[in-house]
Amino acid sequence: MSDKNLDVTTGDITELSGKIQNFSTELNSRITSLNGVVDRIQAGWQGAASQQYDQVQTQVNRRLANLQQSLENLQNIVKMSADGFDEEERKRMSTFAGMENAKGNTSAILEV
């Protein structure tokens, strides 16, 4: 079910951007920690198993790097939308302010 009266503020968008950034930071921390554990375990491996694991781990790390980049891009897009949202609101306020008649502080719309 969709809400036809979507009410989003700049604060909501900024909060979302922060949550994405926090998630990305947490993900990066966990990946680093996991890689450290795996490296210690793998140090005891030898031969084909070690080589095969290296190949798989390289692929996983590449995919995780792509995920990190996607999260960074998403965070930047959300931040830009908040900045654009603020600019659009300023333009609208300026338009409304321009409708006011300077002589009598009456609405130009009512005089039509």
- From the number of C-beta atoms within 10 Å of its C-beta (0-12, 13-18, 19+), residue 79 rates as middle
Gap between the Cα atoms of 56 and 111, Å rounded: 73
Residue 41: predicted pLDDT: 84
Both tokens assigned to 86: 């603020």
DSSP assigned state of 107: B
Neighbours of 18 (CB within 10 A): 13
Residue 79: predicted pLDDT: 86
pLDDT digits (tens, 9 = 90+) for 18-39: 999 999 999 999 999 988 998 8
Gap between the Cα atoms of 112 and 104, Å rounded: 15
Q: pTM above 0.75?
A: no
Average pLDDT, the chain: 81
